[in-house]
Structure 1
C-alpha cells in the first residue's frame, strides 16, 4: 500500500488527536502513561480505528500467558533491522492500549503487538496480521480468564483459516491444539517447564503420554508436531539445522525460549537468525522486569511472576541460597482476585533462602509457605523487609500490581 500514505479518515484523525490529548492529560495528572484511557476515547470516537491504523503495517501479534511482553520487545528489536517498528512495549495489551500504541507510529513499517489472551481473536480480525506468535497457555487469573482449555478453544476458533503465519510452541499441547486450525504454522520447540495444565488431551480429554520431551494422546492420536526451529541449550536451531548462539542480557531459560520464538518470527520477515539474535542483546530489562536497583544501600533485582508457570520459571533463575528473597502478592483487579493459584506453586524450591513476605495478600502467602515448611517473616512494607534481609543481592518476586507498587517505592 505504499502509494496510500495516509489511510486515516477525518474522523479517524480526530479520534487519534482526542486520544493523545486525553492520554497527555492523564500523564500530567500523574495517573500513569494514559495509553489505555487515550485508546478508549479514540475507539469511542471511531470504532474502526484499530483496523485503520493497522492497514499500512506488517503486523505481528504475540500472545501467551507468560513471556509476551518480553517476546514482543525481542521481536521489535529484531525487526528494526528491516525497518521502523511501532509496538505497545509497556504491556497495555487490550484493544484500547494497542490502539493508543499504533496511533503513535505514523512512519512505522512493522507493528509488533502484545495481545491479552482473551482478546487475540478480535485483535487478529481487526489488524489482519502477517504473523501471530503463540508461546504458551497456563492457568492465570482464574476469576477472569476461566480455564485454559476454553482459551485454547477461543484461539482455535478465532484463528481458523487465518492468512497469518502462526509461529507456535510445539511443546505446549494447548498451543498446538489452538494453532492446528491455521493453515500455515511454523512449529518451534521452545520447551515447557509447567505441565500441570496439559495432562489431559485438549482434543478428546484422554490422558496425555509424556515420554521425555515428546507428548501424545494414547486415545485419539493427537501428538507433538515436528519442529522446524528449536531451542537447544544456548543456541537456536534453524530449519536448515544451523545453530545460532543466543546472547541475551535477560536471565533464565524462559528468555532463551522467547528468543527462539522471536528468531522464527523475524525470519518470516526476512531477518536472518544471526542478525535477529544479535539485536536482541540490546534488551536489558522490560518494563522494569529483571532490573537491578539500589535501595537502602542494597542491590534488589526486580522479578515479575504472575501465575504458577511464571513463578516456576522465576525460581529457576534466582541466586542460590542463602540469597534473601522478598515475595509480594496482591489480588487487585489487574492481578485477578482469586489467590487459590498460590497452592499450585512449589514453594519448596525456596528452601534455604531467608524469605520475607509482603503485599495485600501477605497472610494468604504466609499460610501457603507455612504448609510448604519454609522459614519466612511477614513484613509491613518493602523498607522493613530490606532492613531485615541478611547480606547478599536481594531477589524480589512480585505479581502484577505488587510489582508496580515496588517499582514506585524504589523510584524505578
Structure 2
C-alpha cells in the first residue's frame, strides 16, 4: 500500500486536473454535477487513475439493488468519527463517477463508495477495499441488468478470496451465496421484506424453505448463516449482545436495516456502535429523497422507488389514507425501458388513498392500477396533480428519472 506521501504521477495529476476542468465546464453549462463526464475524461488520460486515487485510502464499497445511496451516506457519517471521509454522496456509482469523487478527496482517510451492482467486482479489483457492504439483490431494470442470480454469481466469483471484510445481509439468500466465497464475512440480520427473487436456491435451484425468519434449501442444505449483528425493532444488537438505539431522521424499517449494516461496517474501523449510530442522526435527506418541499402552497414529500422491492418499502412509509398520493413512472435509459415490473408491485396497498398518475409511462401505470381496482386520475403533469389533490400533505412516489424531473420542477 502506498503511503500518504506518495504523490500522484505527473500523468495522474494531469488526468485529475483535466477531469475537474471538464466537470466545472459541464456545471457552468447547467448540465448537472459534471462528475461523470469529468471522470470519463480523467480515466481516458490515465486508465489506472482509480487505483492510484484509492491507494492511500481505507476504501469501503457499498452495493445493493436498494439502499446503496442512503447506506453510503450513513457509513460516511459514522466513519467521520475516525477521520476525514471522501464519498460519491450524490450517487454517481460507476467507475467514472467514483473516480471523480476520489479525485476530490486528497486529505481523506476513508473512501466510502457506492458501486452499481454490475461494476462491483471490477471496482473492488481496482480499489483494494478494506470492507464491502452487500445489502440485497432484487430485480431491477429488466431490459439491462442481468437476472439476479447471474449478478450474485458475478459477485461470488469476483469477491472469491478477497482480503476485504464483507459485511453482508444474512436474510437475503442471494447475498449470502454471493458473499460465501469470501474468507472474512460479518453477517448482519437486516431483514428482507421482498422475497420474490429468492424462492429458489441460488446454489442448486431447489425450493427454499422459509420457516419464520429462517431459510434453508431442503435439497442441498444451503442455509441462513448465524448473524453476529442484528436489527431488532428500534435497536441494533452487536456481537456482544448489547442493544444500541437507532435514532434516524430517515423514515421506515428499510433505513433502520441500512443503519444496522452501517454500524457493523463502522465497527470494522473501530467506531463503537453508540458513536456510529448517534452520528447517523445527522442524515436528513439523501439526494432529495424523503425531503418535504413546498410547492404551490402544498407540502410534498418526495419518495424514490425504482423497482418492486423499493415500492413495497415505500408503501410502508406513507401516511395513512386518505393522504393523497402522486405516482410518477418514466422508462428512460437510466430507469430501464421495460415497465413489466409494475405488475410485480402490490398496488392494493394504496386502497383508500386518492391517487394521481403522471410521468412518461402514466398509461402503463393506469392499466396496472385499473386491474388492482384502485381509484386514480391520470394527470398531465405535477402541477395538475397537485391542483387536483385533496387537502393535506401529498406523498409523491417516483422512479429514477421521474424523481429527477420532479426535483427540478419543485425546486429541490
The residue matched to 2:313 in structure 1 has which SS?
Answer: helix
CA displacement 1:308-351 (0-9 Å, x = unmatched) = 00000000010000000000000000000010000000000000
Task: State the alpha-carbon separation in 2 of the partners of residues 370 and 156 from structure 1.
Answer: 41
Distance in 1 separating the partners of 2:367 and 2:294: 30
Q: Deviations over 1:240-275 (max 9, x none)?
A: 000000000000000000000000000000000000
CA contact (8 A) 1:7 1:52 kept: no
Using structure 1 for the length normalisation, give the TM-score.
0.99
2: CA distance, partners of 1:250 / 1:5? 39
- Distance in 2 of aligned mates of 1:158 and 1:202: 16
SS state at 2:275 partner:
helix
CA distance in 2, matches of 1:284, 1:163: 33
Aligned equivalents of 2:120, 2:401: Cα separation in 1? 23
CA distance in 2 between partners of 1:354 and 1:143 (Å): 31
SS at match of 1:156: helix
Distance 1:118 1:2, change over 3 A: closer
Instruction: Tell me which residue corresponds to 1:57.
Output: 57
Match of 1:337 in 2: 337
Contact 1:329 1:399 in 2 (8 A): yes
CA contact (8 A) 2:3 2:56 kept: no
Separation in 2, partners of 1:244, 1:2? 37
C-alpha distance in 2 between matches for 1:222 and 1:391? 52
Unaligned runs of 5+ in 2: none
* C-alpha separation in 1, matches of 2:320 and 2:5: 55
Rounded Cα–Cα distance in structure 1 between residues aligned with 2:218 and 2:361? 42
Deviation at 1:4, TM superposition (A): 4.2
Relative to structure 1, is the Cα distance of residues 31 and 180 closer, same or farther in structure 2, using a 3 angstrom cutoff? Answer: same
Runs of 4+ in 1 over 6 A off after TM superposition: none
Deviation at 1:173, TM superposition (A): 0.2
- SS class of match (1:143): coil
Equivalenced residue count is: 412
Query: SS in structure 2 opposite 1:300?
Result: strand
- 2:104 matched residue in structure 1: 104
Shift of 1:392: 1.1
Decide whether the 8 Å contact of 2:38 with 2:96 is kept in 1.
yes
Aligned residue in 2 for 1:410: 410
Inter-partner Cα distance in structure 1 for 2:49 and 2:116: 19
Offset of residue 3 of structure 1? 4.8
Alpha-carbon distance between aligned partners in 2 of 1:338 and 1:100, rounded to the nearest angstrom: 30
1:64-109 Cα offsets, whole Å, 9 max, x none, are 0000000000000000000000000000000000000000001000
Contact conserved, 1:188 with 1:230, CA < 8 A, in 2?
yes
**CA distance in 1 between partners of 2:3 and 2:339 (Å):** 53
The whole-number CA distance in structure 2 between the counterparts of 1:50 and 1:177 is 28
TM-score, with structure 2 as normaliser: 0.99
Aligned residues: CA RMSD? 0.7
Q: Residues of 1 paired with 2:142 and 2:188: CA distance? A: 28
Q: Deviations 1:18-63 (Å, cap 9, x if unpaired)?
A: 0000000000000000000000000000000000000000000000
Residues 286-325 of structure 1 show CA distances to partners (whole Å, capped at 9, x for unaligned) of 0000000000000000000000000000000100000000
Are the counterparts in 1 of residues 2 and 55 from structure 2 also a CA contact under 8 Å? no
